Structure 1
Amino acid sequence: MANHLADKPILTLIRGLPGSGKSTLAAAICQITDAVHLEADQFMIDRSGNYRFDSRKLRDVHARCEAECDGHLSAGQSVVVSNTFSEIWEMQAYLDMAERHHAALQIIECHGRFGNIHGVPDDKINAMRKRWQQLPERYS
């Protein structure tokens, strides 16, 4: 399915705790649209194709994800970004990009509990849950 706003890319941000269904939903959206799927986890894959979380690389992988998104939006390509985004400031670079590129913006929250594929410990998920911020009304 082609982008229904032919001259305007769509930036979809999918937020939720680990195991909530973000990646699955993003893949489904991209399968029926021409959007590109990005998430920070994609930049934690080693040369053998294995996921290797390294907290020291978080800033860099998020910067890469943002840069890739910016490049696609500047080319007029729609993008789906699925990251935890537990706090609103974590989305700010993407919110700014949507405005700068005149992209339509949609934010989707996932609340499923399907079990996370990366083995994030329960205490880390609970910490994310405690700092979870509701979307400001203008994005709801």
Structure 2
Amino acid sequence: MEKLELRLLRGLPGSGKSTLAQTLGLVHLEADQFFVNEEDLYCFDGTLLSSAHQWCQSQCEFNLYHGKSVVVANTFVKQWEMDAYRKIAKKYNAELHIEVCKGQFKSIHNVPESVIKRMRKEWEQ
């Protein structure tokens, strides 16, 4: 049986996480997908951010459980934000890879520059 893989792509909005994730041939997940409606429109609601991350983690676990390797593209500004995924990888004996994206593109989710600036300031290597 092929070794399961869990790849975490972290970086600021506009760093190329989603673009890279789409090229890897793995199940591609990100918390932002939670905010895409039936008409394929992105409708962000900050009050649901915790639910979005819970959804992303449960989808990750579901796919690993079913033998599918996963790539998760979230900002992961703080190290602790990856802890749940580290536990999931361990639970399913998946090889964990963490990669930082550093490209400088326009954010596809129109994140305000003030938010990106704050994230940059709070970034943990």
Q: TM-score interval w.r.t. the shorter chain?
A: over 0.9
| 1:48 and 2:39 correspond | yes
For residues 17-62 of structure 1, the C-alpha deviation after alignment (integer angstroms, 9 at most, x for no partner) is: 00000000000112xxxx2000011110122211011101100011
**Which residue number in structure 2 is paired with residue 115 of structure 1?**
106
Return the alpha-carbon distance in structure 1 between the equivalents of residues 43 and 80 of structure 2.
Answer: 25
| Cα distance between partner residues in 2 of 1:87 and 1:99 | 20
* Distance in 1 between residues matched to 2:124 and 2:36, nearest whole Å: 28
Aligned residues: 125
Residue 123 of structure 2 is matched in structure 1 by 132
Q: Distance in 1 between matches of 2:5 and 2:106?
A: 29
More deviation, 55-64/41-50: 41-50
Aligned equivalents of 1:76 and 1:103: distance in 2? 10
**1:82-137 Cα deviation digits (max 9, x unpaired):** 00000011111000011111000101100111110111010000101111001xxx
One-letter amino acid of the structure 2 residue matched with residue 21 of structure 1? G
Alignment of 1:72-83 (within 5 A): 72-83=63-74
Q: Which residue of 2 aligns with 1:29?
A: 24
Match of 2:79 in 1: 88
Runs of 4+ in 1 over 6 A off after TM superposition: none
Bigger relative contact order, structure 1 or 2 (CA pairs below 8 A, ≥6 apart) = 2
The normalised TM-score by structure 2 is 0.97
RMSD: 0.8
Separation (CA, whole Å) in 1 of partners of 2:15 and 2:94: 26
Deviation at 1:74, TM superposition (A): 1.2
- Which residue of 1 is the match for residue 3 of structure 2? 8
SS state of the match for residue 8, structure 2?
strand
2:13 to 10, 13, 18: 18
Specify every segment of 5 or more residues in structure 1 that has no aligned partner in the other structure, as ranges: 1-5, 135-140
